[in-house]
Amino acid sequence: MSITEHELKIELEGIEDPDIGEDIVSLGLVNDVRIEDETAKISLALNAPYAPSEMELGNRIREVVSEAGLEADLRAHVGSEHGFDDEVLPRVRNVIAVSSGKGGVGKTTVAANLAAGLEKRGAMVGLLDADIHGPNVPRILPVETEPGVTPSEDIVPPRSDGVRVISMGFMMEEEDDPAILRGPMVNKFMLKFLEGVEWGRLDYLIVDLPPGTGDATLNLLQSMPVTGAVVVTTPQEMALDDTRKGIQMFNKHDTPVLGVVENMSSFVCPSCGDEHGLFGTEGAQSIVDKYDIPLLGQIPIHPDFGAEGSEGALVKDDSSPVQETVEEFVAEVSDRVGETNRRTVAEHVGGGEPDDALPTETED
């Protein structure tokens, strides 16, 4: 006699969330289980596409279903019943803010490579260059066409090797023109970028914030459902001081901090291979210990990945010695997005209908 839906759900209780430590049924991550024609149709409250931990959860569920003698049809669905905002940017699953307490730490390079790395894993990704006064994203991710405009005058983002990109840099006549804008104009552009862009359907929208804790950042936090923030720092104490201020700002606005990435963490001598902490050591670790947040990665100093940025996303450059480190950072960020979302679901346990088919195998 074949297994029943109730019995299969009991079997799924044996699968533990790798980050939270409780079973996926108790956490409310299983919306629905139906068996039709020897196929188990399972709706899951997962919302971080191509995150390694959620890919592994999907694989583990498939194993349980296979052991029960059934085929698996896994779908993902979350909505307001799970605690998610489905009114602002309803077609964007996750908004990830990339910030830094000060300029010159490589924030834009990190944001561009995060976007490109998620796209490389298979996700649909957009990148919003919200650094109004220093829009450098187009230097790193050059676009293939000019921005378009819909009949309703929304901006259609051009693409850079699969990533949809919007930047203040597109609005300037010359690449080196300064963005001389006062507060009201900054707010006007930010409002247009937040409400007047036709992103389409996105798994992740990466927002490259201006450095510091000014109006543009506050407008974003007040206007968009930010899944979490990635904070970029360097090991110097001055940078770390400003990083602490940024983390406190996110905490005050109830925005989850996904973690800290330490750029320029060390210098690897190309001749002897020795590693040197030119700007100090264990800098970001002090932030991690004080605020109990993850260290998402430590990226070494390299001409490919400098504070001034570089042409192209190195996460897609197989010849770059920095590629593997950046790929690991991208995977870690997506895992933290997944954990944050699953904790939200656990706080708002509910059901839902199947929506998006889940990936069938783990990415390298």
CA–CA–CA angle 298, 300, 303 (5° rounding):
145
> What's the one-letter identity of residue 240?
L
Tell me how far apart the alpha carbons of residues 99 and 237 are, in angstroms, rounded to a whole number.
17
Q: Which two tokens stand for residue 69?
A: 């003698």
Q: Which two tokens stand for residue 81?
A: 């019943």
> What's the one-letter identity of residue 81?
E
Of the candidates 110, 52, 109, 10, which has an alpha carbon nearest to the alpha carbon of residue 331?
A: 52
**Residue 107 known to bind ligand:** yes
Q: Which two tokens stand for residue 207?
A: 């927002």
Q: How many helices (H) and strands (E) does the chain have?
A: 9, 15
> In 10 A of CB 311, how many CB atoms?
10
CA–CA–CA angle 252, 235, 328 (5° rounding):
85
Q: Pairing between strand 125-129 and 163-167?
A: parallel
**Residue 337 known to bind ligand:** no
**Residue 188 known to bind ligand:** no
**Residue 9 known to bind ligand:** no
* Beta bridge pairs of residue 283: none
> Cα separations (Å) of 236 from 99, 129, 251, 263?
17, 26, 23, 10
**Residue 106 known to bind ligand:** yes
Q: How crowded is the C-beta side of 95, counted as CA atoms within 13 Å?
A: 25
Contact 90, 224 (CB under 8 A): no
Residue in the block written with tokens 């030119």: 278
Q: What is the DSSP letter of 308?
A: T
**Residue 316 known to bind ligand:** no
Query: Is 274 exposed, middle or buried, given 0-12, 13-18 or 19+ CB atoms closer than 10 A?
Result: exposed
**Residue 117 known to bind ligand:** no
* 3-class secondary structure per residue, 60-110: HHHHHHHHCCCEEEEEECCCHHHCCCCCCCCCEEEEEEEEECCCCCCHHHH
Binding residues: 101-108
Binding-site sequence positions for ATP: 101-108
